[in-house]
Amino acid sequence: NITFFTAKWLKFVNENRNLTMEIRTKSDNFRAIENIQPNHNVVFAWTLSPQEVSEKFEHGAPSLEKRLESVMAAIEKGWRVRLCIDPALYIENFEKVYGGFIDEVFSKISADKLYDVSVGTFRVPKQYLKKMKKNRRNSILLNYPYETRGNVCTYEEDITKTMLDFIHDKLVKFVPENKIYM
């Protein structure tokens, strides 16, 4: 509701029917576009994190509860909606925190109404991480001893596999396998 970019992008997609657009957001402000007719060439992709992660690392972002309210409003209006558990962070009590988070999400959102779910762990280009560290020297997230693969800093392969396997195994209890992208 500040820049009206989303409404402009939606208008652009309406005028270019051969275009598919993903609009990724953490917003809780679906109200700003609720009167726009759904377009099946658009996928709204909400990045969701456990509330504990959001409070610690997503300063200024809406709460999980508020994001889920916007997700539900978009689904009710007929929009295609993707949930993004990305980036999943390797935190203390990872399985408890992320397990409870997934249970909470699917106690409120019906998986059969979702377009799909995407999952990824923290990863960032090496040079960008270096710049980020410069600006936030005391960040526990940015100062983790990441492994560099290619030009990307991320968790060690065994940690990544453990995290993704856990999230996948939890998700398949709610979401059909063919709607989960890792």
User: In this predicted model, what pLDDT tens digit does every residue of 101-153 receive, in sequence order?
Assistant: 999 999 999 999 999 999 999 999 999 999 999 999 999 999 999 999 999 99
Pair 74, 43: CB distance under 8 Å? no
What's the pLDDT at 85?
A: 98
Given a cut of 90, is residue 23 above it in pLDDT? yes
pLDDT in tens, 141-156: 999 999 999 999 999 9
Half-sphere exposure at residue 137, Cβ-oriented, CA atoms within 13 angstroms = 1
Q: What is the pTM of this model?
A: 0.94
Q: What are the tokens at 26?
A: 């953490």
pLDDT in tens, 25-80: 999 999 999 999 999 999 999 999 999 999 999 999 999 999 999 999 999 999 99
